[in-house]
Every structure is written in structure tokens, then in C-alpha cells.
């Protein structure tokens, strides 16, 4: 059996201890990076949810405005609660199923954007910094470049919506009337 001195065993155990400390430090660094990535992913998902809910509010406010029972002039709702049950209509008419929770604050409170005493839009009450800066869907381009979620205003356009125009496919020069199939 080879002879191992006490001095060499002590050096080896010190070296192993240093490797273990470095491994723990690297694991901690890796976990902090994973934690940051996770927080960013969660925030991006909440942003997507906020955009979808904002669109729901816009649609509900537009529907309320466009619904004119008995030929009454178009008007915007006096409150968000009016979107849940339109008091102007006989029977039950709901433009919105529920007042959604703001995904950025976790609360069902929204900042109201008003024209006079009528609600024309909503915004989040969160002052947190925005991640998404571009690439918004049509109708939400005005959100680009904002710094805080409270600056993301989901407002109904004050201009009347144009009816969709009938688009005719361009079939000039196509023997098959626009069909992608070739002559046999």
C-alpha cells in the first residue's frame, strides 16, 4: 500500500473545497440568469394579456356607442359598469362580460379616459416600465414608444369606422380566372 502523507491529504481536501465553492458560485450565477429570464417571460405574457384586454374594452365601448336603441343618438358609456348591462336597451344587453383585472396591477381598477362625462377608453394604473416598444397590431400602433403601462391608452377612435370595401382579385392575364392551377 502506498504511503500518503498527512500533508498531501490536507492539500487535496483544500483543493476539493475550492472546487466546491466555485461550483456553488457558478450555480448561483446560473440560477440568477434563469430567474431574470423567467421574470421577463412572465412580464411579456402579462403585456400580451393587457393588449388583449385593452382590445376587449375598445370593442365593448365601440359596441355601446354604435348601439342606438329607438334611434337615440350615439353616445359613449358613462361608466365601465354600463358595459356590463346596457340600461338603454330593453331586456339584457351586455357589451362586456366582466370588468377584467389589470394584469399589470392584479386589480380590477382601470384609469378612465373620458370625453366630457363619457368613457372613451381605459389605461392601466401601473407605472412599471414597458418591454414591448414596437410590432403592435393594427389599431394599437399608438402604443409604440411608450415608457410606462399607464401610457398605453386603449381608446375608441373618434372617427366613424369605414365599411370594408369589396376587394376584387386581379385576374388580368390569367387564363384560369385567378385559379393557381395550370391548363392541362
**What's the predicted TM-score (pTM) here?**
0.69
Q: For the chain, what are the domain ranges?
A: 44-155
**Rounded mean pLDDT for each run of 10 residues along the chain, 184 residues in total:** 59 74 84 78 93 95 90 91 88 90 95 94 95 89 93 81 40 38 37
Residue 153 bridge partners (DSSP):
123
In the 3-class helix/strand/coil scheme, how is the chain assigned residue by residue? CCCCCHHHHHHHHHHHHHHHHHHHHHHHHHHHHHHHHHHHHHHHHHHHHHHHHHHHHHHHHHHHHHCCHHHCCCCCCCCCHHHHCCCCCCCCCCCCCCCCCCCCCCCCCCEEEEECCEEEEEECCCCCECCCCCCCCCCCHHHCCCCEHHHCEEECCCCCCCCCCCCCCCCCCCCCCCCCCCCC
Tell me the backbone φ, ψ of residue 122, rounded to 5 degrees: -135, 165
pLDDT of 25 reads: 86
Burial class (CB in 10 A: 0-12, 13-18, 19+), 42: exposed
Burial class (CB in 10 A: 0-12, 13-18, 19+), 182: exposed
pLDDT of 78 reads: 95
pLDDT digits 0-9 by tens, 42-69: 899 999 999 999 999 999 999 999 988 8
Amino acid at each position: 500500500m502506498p504511503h500518503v502523507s498527512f500533508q498531501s491529504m490536507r492539500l487535496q481536501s483544500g483543493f476539493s473545497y475550492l472546487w466546491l465553492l466555485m461550483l456553488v458560485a457558478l450555480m448561483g450565477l446560473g440560477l440568477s440568469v434563469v430567474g431574470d429570464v423567467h421574470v421577463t417571460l412572465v412580464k411579456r405574457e402579462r403585456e400580451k394579456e393587457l393588449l388583449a384586454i385593452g382590445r376587449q374594452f375598445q370593442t365593448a365601448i365601440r359596441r355601446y356607442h354604435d348601439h342606438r336603441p329607438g334611434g337615440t343618438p350615439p353616445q359613449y358609456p358613462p361608466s365601465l359598469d354600463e358595459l356590463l348591462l346596457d340600461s338603454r336597451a330593453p331586456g339584457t344587453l351586455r357589451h362586456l362580460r366582466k370588468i377584467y383585472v389589470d394584469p399589470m396591477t392584479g386589480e380590477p381598477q382601470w384609469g378612465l379616459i373620458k370625453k366630457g362625462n363619457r368613457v372613451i377608453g381605459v389605461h392601466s394604473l401601473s407605472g412599471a416600465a414597458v418591454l414591448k416598444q414596437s410590432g403592435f397590431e393594427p389599431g394599437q400602433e399608438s402604443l409604440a414608444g411608450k415608457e410606462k403601462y399607464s401610457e398605453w391608452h386603449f381608446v375608441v377612435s373618434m372617427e366613424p369606422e369605414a365599411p370594408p370595401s369589396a376587394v376584387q382579385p386581379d385576374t388580368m392575364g390569367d387564363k384560369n380566372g385567378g385559379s393557381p392551377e395550370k391548363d392541362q
